[in-house]
Amino acid sequence: MEYRHLGKAGIQVSELSFGSWVTFHNQADVKAAVEMMSAAYEACVNFFDNAEVYADGKSEEVMGAALKQLSWRRSSYLVSTKFYWGIQEGVNEKNTLNRKRLIEGINGSLQRLQLEYVDLIYCHRPDKTTPIEETVWAMHNIIEWGKAIYWGTSQWSAAEIVAAIEIAERHHLHKPVTEQPIYNLFERQRLSNEYLRVYKDYGYGTTTFSPLASGLLSGKYGKGIPKNSRAALEGYDWLHNHVTDKEKLAKVQALESIATELDCTLSQLALAWCLKNPFVSTVITGASRVGQVHENMKASEVAPKLTPEILEQIDSIFVVKEEEED
Ligand SMILES: NC(=O)c1ccc[n+]([C@@H]2O[C@H](COP(=O)([O-])OP(=O)(O)OC[C@H]3O[C@@H](n4cnc5c(N)ncnc54)[C@H](OP(=O)(O)O)[C@@H]3O)[C@@H](O)[C@H]2O)c1
């Protein structure tokens, strides 16, 4: 496992990390969480991603209980959480990055995680109604109070990120250091294009998510929706069209010969492809059981096998050539 700087921040993150969306509480209890987090940590993962909204706070409770059992040295790992959607219905409590919500949010998360501080807090989505300046000040204050160490954004536009950085610079506040965007073989546009100047000009980091497109890139949906898969879970019907899309499934199938040639699984190949992007600081993996963690962590060994020729072969499957303009 290699470690990469989170953009130009001093901190380093393992190139593969581990997150708890969908899985913790819904598919994994504390025992399973301990097992999966141990497998990741033993593979040298040092970053564990979470969010207040995951399982309405219960994902943080499961991770907190697991961390307590694991009793790792606190300085040996990083934990994150994120705010935006909220877990209460009140007018100032959902879909917002207002100052009151963020400050109350971090206090709730720390309680559920049983931690004195988290390493990273993200603004889970941009809030079009709260001034960015108010959010930047709140994140700065949370860091100054020692409740978080760094902050970042998730699925913000490049313009919003630059606005936040410039406000922070103007007032000598803690700047956001990383974006958390979706990035996988099917969804690469934003990270490969829109954010490029933000990485280059501001040294912004990236902690990318859904590297297997919710499991589709593992090849498991080739013959329909398996019973024990994410798309079969109650409340995840919205994934059905995505995992049964014939064009997407054909692309996944076309990857199989490359995986065979490299002697790896489709999941490892899809994760290794993400690792090849030098602007990716860490690829946040997800798993519903420990076997998947063991399999996915080996993607680090596959990445060096992805030569420029193989990357071109992969592109020829996934990149739709845009029609030439006049
Ligand atoms: N910032 C954001 O808005 C945002 C959004 C989404 C995710 N995230 C973060 O990114 C993390 C990863 O995202 P993700 O869970 O969507 O990642 P993903 O890699 O696209 O999907 C993970 C799921 O795929 C299946 N899977 C994983 N490894 C497999 C393998 N080797 N073989 C077969 N199936 C496998 C498992 O589901 P089943 O076994 O149940 O099928 C697993 O839960 C999340 O936990 C979260 O921390 C952030």
Average of pLDDT values for 176-197? 92
- Indicate the pTM of the whole model: 0.97
Which atom belonging to ligand 1 lies closest to the Cα atom of 230? 40
Q: Whose CA is nearest to atom 9 of ligand 1?
A: 209
Average per-residue pLDDT for the chain: 96
- pLDDT score, position 189: 86
Which long-range CB contacts under 8 A does 243-250 form with residues at least 24 apart? 243/214, 243/215, 243/216, 248/186, 248/213, 248/216, 249/216, 249/221, 249/222
In a 3-state reduction of DSSP, which class is residue 205? strand
Q: Whose CA is nearest to atom 35 of ligand 1?
A: 215
Compute the distance from residue 230 Cα to the ligand 1 centre, in Å.
9
DSSP assignments along 248-261, one per residue: HHHHHHHHHHHHHH
**pLDDT band at 168, cuts 50/70/90?**
very high
DSSP 119: E
Q: Whose CA is nearest to atom 24 of ligand 1?
A: 215
Q: Please count the CA atoms within 13 angstroms of the CA of 33 that sit on its side-chain side.
A: 28
For residues 282 and 291, the answer to whether their CB atoms sit within 8 Å is: no
Which is the catalytic residue, given 54, 77, 122, 221?
A: 54
Q: Whose CA is nearest to atom 27 of ligand 1?
A: 287
Ligand 1: list residues with CB < 6 Å.
Answer: 19-23, 27, 49, 124, 154-155, 180, 209-215, 218, 220, 229-230, 267, 284-288, 292, 295-296
Q: Whose CA is nearest to atom 19 of ligand 1?
A: 212
Which atom belonging to ligand 1 lies closest to the Cα atom of 289? 39
Compute the distance from residue 40 Cα to the ligand 1 centre, in Å.
14
Question: Catalytic residue at 150?
Answer: no
**pLDDT band at 183, cuts 50/70/90?**
very high
Which atom belonging to ligand 1 lies closest to the Cα atom of 180? 1
For residues 105 and 83, the answer to whether their CB atoms sit within 8 Å is: yes
Compute the distance from residue 62 Cα to the ligand 1 centre, in Å.
17
Average of pLDDT values for 261-275? 98
- pLDDT score, position 68: 98
- pLDDT score, position 193: 85
